[in-house]
Structure 1
Amino acid sequence: MTILDKVRDTFKWCEIGNEFTTQEIINKVVLKHGCNPGSIIPSDYCYNRINNGIDFENHLHLFEYMGNKTYKFLGENFSYSGTIFHKPKGGYEIAIGKWTNGIINYDFNNDIHTKEEKVIFADNQVIQHRTKRDASVKLRFDVLKRDNFKCCICGASPAKDVNVELHIDHIIPWSKGGETAIDNLQTLCSKCNLGKSDSM
């Protein structure tokens, strides 16, 4: 039985809305399955938290982090709505995605598009894309991590200024055939991203 299976099994009969501290979650799993307490990281099983090394979209989601080392149990496949955060070591929380009624949504730049969009028109030519326009939560996280959670143009970071909002930007725009791949994505703050859009 994996740690994921042990956590799932421990809370399978839990009532939605129950709140637990970090230590209470760890103690429950250890008491039921006798595993190493250090292997249980409650934030790995949250709807609103992403941790390094987690395949977020395919991972087990059970809790909502409420702050102050407290978690609310929601259960699997909950119709969760809310922002997904990552907190780099020594930094501030960064919003990297959001849920809407149980569906992950990556549209932070207010572009109108759908995940099914495969073919677009640019300069009267049909472009067949190999990737979807939206980056997955994992890809967004990988780009932010690669860029040290800083804007690639001005260096702004939420670690220095809590008002900084970071976006994931296509270097070659999607509308001009650019793919949603790590080598065509960069981290920009909202000001630089808006400035880039205005200059195109």
Structure 2
Amino acid sequence: MKVDKVCIGLTGYPGAGKTLLASEAVKRGIPVLNMGDVVREEALRRGLPPTRENMTLLMWKLRSEEGSLAVAKRILEKSRCFEQNLIVIDGLRTVDEMSFFRENFKKFILVVVNASREERFKRLSKRGRGDDPKSIKDLEDRDRAEEALGLAGLLAKGDRVILNEGPPEKALEEFEQVFKDAIRLDC
């Protein structure tokens, strides 16, 4: 049964600015579900430290054990717990996940967040998560791992693209229009 909500899905390479936009949604009282958090929760449940290597291996293991939509299905179930008619899902990686959400939500808007590799590395260096890249080469390797999942194909499918190179306010202005569009879709 379809979830009677409008969903904004965020995708992009690590450090592109998905979290900036997700944080704006939270400020507005819009629930945000993070695909990576589902994998981190599973790692904790299994007693694994949340390192980049463990998260990558566990993500592939979940897909192997439960199918390519393992994380998306868990997110869909979590989305049912919210009363709000609008939610944000942060961190889609594949066309299959996008298709799954398009099929299972009343309306779905895919927002692609883009930024240069250099800008992304600067942001990730400041973020302070244990799985963040330590060098541009690490980031290139991580980008390739994301592409192996299917991220490059998903980036070509965006309903909206936000270039997040300059001041955050510019990206937030563009995201404001996405919120307005989503609210209109819910009417």
Short-chain TM bin: under 0.3
**Structure (1/2) with the larger strand percentage:** 1
TM-score by length of 1: 0.23
Q: Which has the higher contact order (CA 8 A, sep 6+)?
A: 2
